[in-house]
Structure formats: C-alpha cells, structure tokens
Amino acid sequence: MAAPLLSVEDLRVEFGVDRNVFPAVDGVSFAVDRGATLGIVGESGCGKSVTSLAIMRLVSVPPGRYAGGAIRFDGQDLLRLPESRMRALRGGRMGMIFQEPMTSLNPVYTCGDQIVESLKVHSDLSARAARDRAIELLDLVRLPSPAKRVDDYPHQLSGGQRQRVMIALALANDPDLLIADEPTTALDVTIQAQILELMKDLQDRTGTAILLITHDLGVVAETCDEVVVMYAGTVVEQAPTAALFGDPQHPYTVGLMAAVPRIDVAADRLATIEGSVPPPWQVLAGCRFASRCPLADDRCRNEPPPLRAIAPAHRVACWHAPIDGAAA
Amino acid sequence: MSALLQVEGLTKHFPVRRGILRRIVGHVQAVTDVSFAVAAGETLAIVGESGCGKSTTGRALLRLIEPSAGSIRMEGTELTTLSPARMRQMRRQMQIIFQDPYGSLNPRMTVREVLSEPLLLHGVATPATLQAKVAEVLGLCGLSSFHAERYPHEFSGGQRQRVGIARALATRPKLIVCDEPVSALDVSVQAQIVNLLQDLQRQLGVAYVFISHDLAVVRHIATRVAVMYLGRIVEEAPAAELFAAPLHPYTRSLIAAAPRPDPAAGRAKASVEGDAPSALAPPPGCAFHPRCPVAVERCRSERPELRGIGPTRVACHLAEPATDRALPRPLDADTPLARRLAVLAAARARKQEGTAA
C-alpha cells in the first residue's frame, strides 16, 4: 500500500504562557490517502480547527506552540520545514477553504486579482495567461458569467458565490490536498448542497484529497470516506464512514448521533449528552469524556484510554469498547 | 379556533435612501402580505433561508420593528395601533429569545438583575417576593439559584441561552418568539435547549413562534410550519403534512437539500440552482420562478396566491394534491445506535439510583 499523502502523528499543540499552558490538540494521529476525503467532526473547542491550522502551520506562535509529533506531507515533516518552503506549499500543493469567505477574501482586490496573484506566485504564467486561467477556474466552480465576475469585488457577490471564489482560489494551483474548515457552515442549506456537490465533482476530476473539518454529521455522512471524531483535543473514534454510522462505539459518538434531530426520522424527545465540554485548562488524569459519560468508572477517571482497534480500520478510545459487551 | 395571535397582511418595506438629499430610491421588500395564526400552546415554525424575512416577521410581531402595513391581533387586541405605553404592557404577554444570548444579555448585569427587571416592571413580583420568583424561573430553566449572582460571561453558550429563556419566561408570557434560538449552539447543547423549550411548553402552555433555518429542528419541535421565500409565505401546513407531502417546489428542494446523518440515505440533491434574488427587486410573477425546476410561462408573469389544498396553504400555480407521502420512519429500535443508547441510558439510571440511595 502506498504511503498516505498526509499523515499526522501524535500531534500536540499547546497554547498559553509560562505556567498557564494547556494543550488544544493532545496526541492526535490520522492519515489522508491521495484522492480520499477524511472528515474531522466534533463540537466547539474539540481542537479540529487548531489541527487544520497546524497542518498549514498557521497557528500563531506565540501564544501557540507545536509541542510534539509530526505532520508528514508527501514524506516531509511540515513542522521542520523552513518558512519559505512552507509558503510555497500553501496555496500551491495545499489549498485551504475557510468558513467565512467574506473575511478570508481581501475586500480591496477583485476576485480575479486574488486568483491571479496566487497563480503568479506559484507558477511563471504571464499576466494574460493567469487572467485567462482565473476565468477558467471561476467557470470550473460554476460562477455565473465568469468573464464578467472576474472583475467583481468580494462584496458584490453573494455568500455562496464568495465561497465558490474561495474554492477557485484554493484549487488554482492543482493542490494535492484541500483543507476545508467548515466550508458550508455559513451558507443556506440549498447553497450548501450546491457547494458540497461542487467539491465532490472537482475531486472526481482533479483527484485532490480533501480534509473536511465540520460539526455537522449530516455533511460528514454525505461526503467523507473516513471520519475522525474529536473531543476535547483528542481523537475518540476513527472509522470508515459506513462503519462509524453503522456501528458507533464511543459513548460520545453515540450521544452526538442521537442528539441530532433527523428530518427523516420521528422521535419524541432528543437524546442529550449531560453537562458540557471541560475547559482545556482543566487537568484531567483519565478519559476527558468521563465527567459526562454514564459508563465512566474509576479506571476511566484515572487512566486515559488508548485509541485501539476493535475492527479493521475502526479505532476507539474507550475502556468500555466494544460497548455492547457492557450491556450484560 | 380562536387564535392567540392573528396576523393579517403583515408587511415591512425598508426604504433605501441614496444621494445627499437622502431620496428614497427603492424599498427592500423584507416582508410582504404575511398572514398566519398561532393558537395557544402550539408552535408555529417560520422557516426559510437568509433574507427571506423570517426574522423581520418575528420582530414585527412585537413591534421591535414597526410594520409598514397589516394587522397583528394578540387575544383580540390590535397591536399596531397601541400607544407605546400600552404596547409595553402587552409585552408581558409576548417575549422574544434571540440567537446570540451573549449579544442580548447586558454584560454588566448579573442574572438576578436581568430577571428582576421584567418581574418588577410588569408587577409580577414585589420586592418581597422577588427572591423566590427569580429562583423559581431559574429552576424552570434548569439553572440553580446560585447562578443568579453570576454575570453572562461566566456561563457556557448553552447556559446563557437558558438565561435568555428564563428572562423571556419571567413574566409568564403566552407567546414567545424564538429567533434561531439553537443555531449558535453545539449539537449536544442544542438538544438540551430543544428539550427544555418542549418541556416548558407542556408545563406552562406557552405558544412559540419558532424562527429557524434548520428543517430537522423544525420538524422536531413544530406543530405547524410556514415556509417563507423572499418576504412571502409560499407554503403553510401542519408539520407532519409539510414533511410528508411538501407541495411547493421550494419546500421540496429545502427538504431534499438537508443533509442526513446516514451514509445509506444517499447524497442530498442540490435541486435548485443559483442564489435567491434580491429583495430590492423581486422577480415578477412567482418570486421563485428563476430557480424553480418546474416553472412554466404563467409563473413568470402571474404571482400565485396562497390557496388551500387539503390542510395545506400553498402559493404555486402547479401545486396539486400529493399522491405519495414520505412518512417518517420510526426510530428503529434494533440499530446498533439505538442499542447503544439503551446501554447508556441504563447505565445512567443505575448511576442515579446509586446516588439517590
């Protein structure tokens, strides 16, 4: 089997100064194969966005600090790369889409200028050819009348159109990896469906791998090949999408799935997870989910559970997994 | 049915001014000719995408935004012509919960102060009974009396929304407008708040106008649903009916586009193209026709009026009584998810017994 395009190994990212240092990401490992889509799902503060920023090495240092682990992209450890090489990768072989396209596009340049700039930094295209390529890219993301829109400023576009421009920008240099951090969260549901369909189409055509960060299990179910569930800075469960939804194991994953109201299933009352996520500075000896978990016992409170395989490619960090055994 | 709230022809057009003379050059037609009724103790959900006018409608109900035209009757009292003083009294019966509880709570006031204001203002409590009343309202919303001395920033997002609900509930209103009350919350917290709203309704008989863009939450909480598009209601029906047999093409595409957390369900279809047009210049005819997959010539020129088909009101020339219905699946008790939930519930019950004993 070929080496994965991206592999994150035991990544630890800390924030804070002096003695008030806490890990936002604590020992996270996963891998993304070429052309595959991996989803990272979790609630606010679980460390999913810090993970994605760390892969692009965009965590601001200080107050952040890469405190351990490795991020291998095509064999090279990004955490040890000089900044100039990193800059060549960003927007080149690695593209990124953020949640809010209005704040990640520069308001004083036209959409075309921003795509042209990215093309010229990463290739030796002439101004003319870069502009033509920009129009081609806008057409690729199905922005209506791209030859005219290329001269529009971001504020002249709707939210969905701005996100299309962001995708065109991220894809400008045929990246091997596209990191999408909540790419559809700010969009209406009909527009979200359009954007997800577009991302899938483009992946089929260009063969780019996608790392999708989201809080929405519905989006994960529809787009990802494999899923990593994060909670309070750690990976609690990891599995191929069908296995995760068909056979959820970690009590947090189970709780999360049951808490989502379903448009196609009738239920009297939503299941809830009691309590809330512990703040990251709270030092916990054992499993970070223990305070909210009905199955928690003394071992859970004292020893952090390792991520271990319960089936091929299905790994769970829970002392009680597989859960069905606990029913008796 | 004598309705608690009766809205007829509600319209809000915001003038757009340009130039040094601030001449009115056009109107944003945020809400146009919206009519509906809310019965005591029920939940009417207003759904639609950004810019469809659902929040403007919610605010206009309380006259937080003055309607341009139309009538709003609360228990028979016409609100649009009330004096400001009488309107303030009326707000004892009508309250609102906002999306962002942090933005809507004064950061310099403790929860006690936040709750005391409406209680004293509307004479629900006297200084002597205030302490007990505050504790009672907090208890209803799943908070403890020690929370009363805290400031909004000391709470998590879910707890802050509980404070927002407690404030709205303090005067024991008959109607609460909930404007995207769970949109900013994480899934597990969202479920807690949805359950709380349902419990409060059962306990106190309060009616909700529930404004949301999330159809899955709406299906869960609503008695009836009104779908808005570009300032107008395009379909209104009992919730079960709307989701089983949506008649308007826009409603159908909204439901189809909602992602389902089930890989076996297949991918949501992007059945509408493009973006919603501007409310500054809505298209002639049916406002949805530029994006509608089934539009015909008539849709481009003639605006469809709301008409009744069975229990549904729909504004579409082509709508016909549904022949097939997508009935919701009952939650299957034999999925691994359901089995595991049962394990967790049993463990929780054992734990509670343990602490009670």
The SS3 call for residue B235 is strand
| CB within 8 Å: B331 and A192 | no
Domain ranges of chain B: 229-356
Q: Which of A192, A220, A326 sits opposite B257 (nearest CB)?
A: A192
pLDDT band at A326, cuts 50/70/90?
very low
Determine the Cα–Cα distance for residues B264 and A222; give it in Å rounded to an integer: 9
Find tokens 């020129």 and name the residue.
B301
Please, which residues have CB within 8 angstroms of residue B78's CB and are 6 or more apart in sequence?
B71, B72
Mean of pLDDT values over A265-269: 76
- Contact status of A194 with chain B (Cβ, < 8 Å): yes
Cite the beta strand spans of A116-258 per DSSP E: 177-181, 209-214, 226-231, 234-240
| CB within 8 Å: B329 and A266 | yes
A83-125 residue pLDDT tens: 888 888 888 889 888 877 677 888 899 988 999 988 888 888 8
Task: Say whether pLDDT at B51 is over 60.
Answer: yes
**In terms of pLDDT, which residue wins out, B236 or A118?**
B236
Residue A200, H or E segment: helix A189-206
pLDDT at A143: 83
Tell me the sheet residues that pair with A181: A213
Amino acid present at B293: P
pLDDT-above-90 percentage for chain B: 46
Task: Say whether pLDDT at B4 is over 80.
Answer: yes
pLDDT at B329: 67
Nearest CA in chain B to A277: B156
pLDDT-above-70 percentage for chain B: 95
Of A27-31, A50-54, A174-178, B153-157, where does mean pLDDT reach its minimum?
A: B153-157
| CB within 8 Å: B345 and A294 | yes
pLDDT at B226: 96
Task: Say whether pLDDT at B1 is over 80.
Answer: no
CA distances from A311 to A238, A319, B74 (A): 11, 15, 60
| CB within 8 Å: A270 and B220 | yes
Determine the Cα–Cα distance for residues A133 and A123; give it in Å rounded to an integer: 12
- Contact status of A241 with chain B (Cβ, < 8 Å): yes
How many residue contacts between A and B have a Cβ separation below 8 Å? 183
Q: What is the mean pLDDT of chain B?
A: 88
pLDDT band at A328, cuts 50/70/90?
very low
Amino acid present at A165: V
B318-340 residue pLDDT tens: 988 877 777 666 666 677 888 88
| CB within 8 Å: B344 and A294 | yes
Of A30-44, B67-81, B82-96, B143-157, where does mean pLDDT reach its minimum?
A: B143-157
pLDDT band at B7, cuts 50/70/90?
very high
Find tokens 């929860």 and name the residue.
B111
Return residues 264-303 of A near B (CB < 8 Å): 264-267, 269-274, 276-277, 294-295
| CB within 8 Å: B258 and A260 | no
B136-170 residue pLDDT tens: 999 889 888 888 899 988 888 888 899 999 999 99
pLDDT at A166: 87
pLDDT band at A196, cuts 50/70/90?
confident
**In terms of pLDDT, which residue wins out, B62 or B261?**
B62
Highest average pLDDT, of B98-102, B124-128, B226-230, B257-261, comes from B226-230
| CB within 8 Å: A218 and B261 | yes
Of A300-314, B238-252, B267-281, B334-348, where does mean pLDDT reach its minimum?
A: B267-281
Highest average pLDDT, of A147-156, B16-25, B347-356, comes from A147-156
Complex ipTM: 0.81
Q: Tell me the DSSP string of B72-129.
A: EEETTEESTT--HHHHHHHTTTEEEE-S-HHHHS-TTS-HHHHHHHHHHHTTSS-TTT
